[in-house]
Structure 1
Amino acid sequence: MLVISSFEQSTSLEIAIANLEQNGINKTKILAVPFEKRREEKKLFDSIHRSDGVSLFDIAAALGTACSVLGASFGFILKWGPIIWGLLGLAIGAIIGFIIDYFYTKKKTKKQEKVPDSFSEVVLIVDCEDTLGEKVENIL
């Protein structure tokens, strides 16, 4: 029977492993795999091969569309016409949206950097007999 569990690295985990060894589980049947949390620097633009899940074009597209519609609507009244004012509204809205999203993302990443991620996660795999399975689960 395989018992798989996940823990944060701590002294309690070390005590649990020692307790498993005292209860008849051989060291060769216990596998502890540490996972270090890597911190990648957020990049401004995504590529085809890499994406960090942060998009700077969501608000830019929404504001660009809204300002484009407003510019085209008011362009029927204004001198340059609806097409020019629609394009100007698109450009102005997209730039404002991009700036808002850029500073919001920058502020958000600064908050995340303040939270320490010094601990690492450990996956523990224990290969034991079916009779010891419940005992292993209780120890873990």
Structure 2
Amino acid sequence: MQLFSTFENTTFLEMAIATLEKNEISKEHIFAVPLDNRMEDRKLFDTIHRSDGTTLIDIGMALSTAFAVIGASIGFNLEWGPIYWGLIGAASGFLVGFSIRLVTEVLVKKKRRLLKGQHSEVILIVECPDHQADLVENILFRHFALGVAKIK
């Protein structure tokens, strides 16, 4: 049976390997593979094939609606009329909202776009007999494995 687990690159990984060796799992049956984590910055603009769930036009649409209503209301008293001033208000509201959202995403939330939380940095593959699978799984979880999978 093979057990696949992911770990952060910490001393707990070393302790898990040492504990496995103490429980009669030989070094030849333990294989650790380090992962290469993403080093490039995340993209700000989404494409049709990839989206991160954030949008840049939500505030722009809300302000566009509000500015269009205000522009059309004031436009009754101005020379160009309510339609032109409503369109001007909508365009300016959208630009203001888009700018606000762009500034907050680029400057304020830049750190949030980086990968957060725990990163699996090492995959540990352990080959063992079926009767030792539960023992090996418990050892891996006791040493803070992020996840474990068994394959017969």
TM-score range normalised by the length of the shorter chain: 0.7 to 0.9
Equivalent pair of 1:7/1:123 in contact (CA under 8 Å):
yes
Equivalent pair of 1:34/1:120 in contact (CA under 8 Å):
no
SS of the residue aligned with 1:123? strand
Match of 2:6?
6
Match of 2:108?
107
Please report how far the alpha carbon of residue 40 of structure 1 lies from its aligned counterpart in structure 2 after TM superposition. Answer: 2.6
Q: Which runs of 4+ in 1 moved over 6 A?
A: 113-117
C-alpha root-mean-square deviation of aligned residues, in Å? 3.1
Matched, 1:59 2:95: no
For 1:6-27, what per-residue CA distance to the aligned partner results, in whole angstroms no more than 9, with x for missing partners?
2210122012112213322233
Equivalent pair of 2:42/2:114 in contact (CA under 8 Å):
no
Q: Which residue type is aligned with residue 7 of structure 1?
A: F
Q: Distance in 2 between matches of 1:51 and 1:79?
A: 44
Unaligned runs of 5+ in 2: 141-152
Match of 2:138?
138
Matched, 1:70 2:70: yes
Normalising by structure 1, we get a TM-score of 0.75
Please report how far the alpha carbon of residue 77 of structure 1 lies from its aligned counterpart in structure 2 after TM superposition. Answer: 4.3
Equivalent pair of 2:3/2:127 in contact (CA under 8 Å):
yes
Match of 2:94?
94
Normalising by structure 2, we get a TM-score of 0.70
Higher relative contact order (CA 8 A, sep 6+): 2
Question: Do the aligned partners of residues 39 and 101 (structure 1) sit closer, same or farther apart at CA in structure 2, a change above 3 Å counting?
Answer: farther
Equivalent pair of 1:34/1:122 in contact (CA under 8 Å):
yes
